[in-house]
Amino acid sequence: MAFDQLLAQWKHLARHEDDLTQEYESIVGDGKAIEDRFYQDLAFGTGGMRGVIGFGRNRMNIFTIRRAAAGLADYLLSDDEVKQKSVAIGFDSRKYSQRFAKETALVLAARGVKAYLFPSLRPVPLLSFALRHLHTGAGVVITASHNPPEYNGFKVYAEDGAQLSPRAADGVTEKIRKLTFEECLPMDEQEAKEKGLLTIIPKEVDEAYNAMVLKLMVCPDKARKAGKDLKIVYTPLHGAGNLPVRRALKDAGFEHVSVVPEQELPDSNFSTVKSPNPEDPAAFTMAIPLAKTVGATLIMGTDPDCDRLGCCVMDKQGSWHTLTGNQIGCLLLHHILSALKDQNKLPANGAVVKSIVSTAMANTLCEDVGVTLFEVLTGFKFVGEKIQEFEESGSHTFLFGFEESFGYLSGTSVRDKDAVNAALILAEAASACHLEGITLYERLQQLYGQYGYFAETTHAATYKGKEGADKIKAIMKELRREAPKAIGGLKVLVSRDYLSGIQVENGVETSLGFPPSDMVYFKLENNAWLCARPSGTEPKIKFYGGAMNRDSMAEAQDAVNKLVEAFIALSE
C-alpha cells in the first residue's frame, strides 16, 4: 500500500485521538516524516516491541498496542503448550503506560483471554514474579526501560516468567501480521469485570514478592548490624522502584536510606535527567550532593521499570566513583560466593550465568571458588532459560546471573533482571565492607589486586530510520566478509559468527551450539576480546571490548579503548 493511502487510513483510524491527530497535521507534506512512520510495522521480537510514541504503524500508540495484544491473545489460544489462557499485566511511569496497560487487558478480554492487571505502576521483576505466582500463561509490561521519554514499549513474558523465546516471538508476530488495526477492539471494562475476564492483582502478590526478595539475602545479620549506621542514598529516577526498593531496604534493617526528593515521584517526562538511565553517571547529579549532606558512602539508582541498577561508591578520600555494570556484577558475585563459602553453603553444583559480552573477570572469580560459569547470548531471557534448564535437569544450582548492561538476578522466582533484588544484595555487600572499615570502592580495588585489572568498554552508534537500518546491516556484512587476522595489533585467535553458528579456531570450523543471533565475536591474544551486535530494541549497533592487565587499570583501559577504535575502523 502506498504511503498516501496509509496516511489516509491512519487519519481516519486516529480521528478520536487528539495527540495523534495533531501529529498527523504536523507531518502532512513531509515525505521523509511520513516514510519513517509507515515504511514498516513496529518490529515485534523476543523483547516484544519498543519505539517512539506517535502516529503511524511504526510508532507506539493505542492502535499498535491493541494489535499486539490481539496477536498475543490469538497466539495463546492457538498454542496447546500454553495451558493457562491468561495474562498478567504491569506498567511503569512512562507516558500512556497506564492507558496502554488497560487497553491491553481489555483487548485480551475481548478475545476470551483473562487479564490480571496491576492497579498502579510496578517494577518489571514484580510482573515476572506475579505471572509465576498467579500461574498465568504470559505476562506483559508496558515500558521502554531506560530509553528517553519519547519511547514506550510492549514487553512480553512467557509462562516461565522469562521473556519470550525466539519461537514464541515468531508465533506472536505471525498472529499480529494477520490482523488489521481496525479489528483489534477492546471489551468494555465493566463487562470484562462482570464476565471474570479482568481482575485487579491483589496486594498479596506484592507481599509475597517482598518476602521472596528478603530471603535472597546471604548474610542478613551483617546487614541488620551495619544497617543501624550505614547511610545510603537512593534514586528511583521517577520510576517504579521507589516503593519496593525502599520497603526491601527498610525491612532488611537499613535505617538510614535517603531518597532524592526531586526524583522520588513518577514523572513521564523524567524532567530532572537527560535520560532516566542509571548506566549514565549524569543520572546521579542530584544524588551526590545529598549523599555528601547525609554522610552516605553508597548511592543506588534504578531505571523507570526497575530492572536495572546503577550505583556510585565513595572512596576513603571522599571522592565518588560511578561503577560500570561489569564492576557492580563482580561485586555482587564476589559477595554472594564468598558469603556462601564462609558459611559452608556453597553448593557443589553451583552455577553462575553471564552474557557473552560481560566481563571475563567473572570467569576468574568463579574458577577461584570452583563454581561453573555459563555464557549465554545477550538478553536476560537466556539467563532465564538456563535457570529453567537447571531446574528441569537438576544439573546445577543457580546462584547468580548478570549482564554488563546493569542487569542482575540472584534468585529463581523471577526470570528477568531484578533491581530490587540487586539493590538489597548490593546494600548487604556494602554492609559487609562497612563492618570491615572499608567501602565498596576499596573492595573492588582488593579484587583487582587479587585477580587482575579487567577493563571493558562499549561504543554504541545510532542510525535511525530505514537508512539507519540499512547502514547497520551493511556494517555487520562487512565484519562478516572476511575474518581479520589481527585487530589493533593483536592476533585473532578465535572468530565466532553467532548468526551462522560457526566458530573458527586455527583454521578449524566447529558449531557454536547457540540459537542464531546477529553477532560477531573475536577472541584475541593477551586475554582481549571484541564483539559487535545490533541492538534488539534500539536503532543502534554496539561494539564491545575487553582487556586485562595484571598491574594497572589505566593500562587495561587504554588497551581496550584502542582495540575498540581499531575494531570500529574495520567496519567503515
> Catalytic residues, which ones?
145
Describe the strand order of the beta sheet including 256-259 as a list of residue ranges: 256-259, 231-235, 298-302, 309-314, 320-322
DSSP H or E segment with residue 492: strand 490-497
3-state SS record for 535-570: CCCCCEEEEEEEEEECCCHHHHHHHHHHHHHHHHHH
Paired sense of beta strands 198-200 and 114-117, if any: parallel
At 343 the three-state DSSP class reads: coil
DSSP H or E segment with residue 212: helix 203-215
Nearest to 482, CA basis, from 471, 469, 501, 495? 495
DSSP letter, residue 375: E
DSSP letter, residue 203: H
Query: How far is the CA of 136 from the CAs of 48, 101, 129, 201, in angstroms?
Result: 18, 16, 11, 12
DSSP letter, residue 274: S
For residue 383, give every residue at least 6 positions away whose Cβ sits within 8 Å of its Cβ, in sequence order, or none.
162, 353, 355, 376, 401, 403, 409, 415, 417
CA 307/CA 145 separation, integer angstroms:
8
| 94 torsion bin: left (phi>0), alpha (psi -120 to 50), beta (else) | beta
Backbone angles phi, psi at 386, to 5 degrees: -65, -40
* Bridge partner residues of 491 (DSSP): 486
Residue that is written with C-alpha cell 498465568 in the block: 136
At 158 the three-state DSSP class reads: strand
* Bridge partner residues of 301 (DSSP): 235, 310
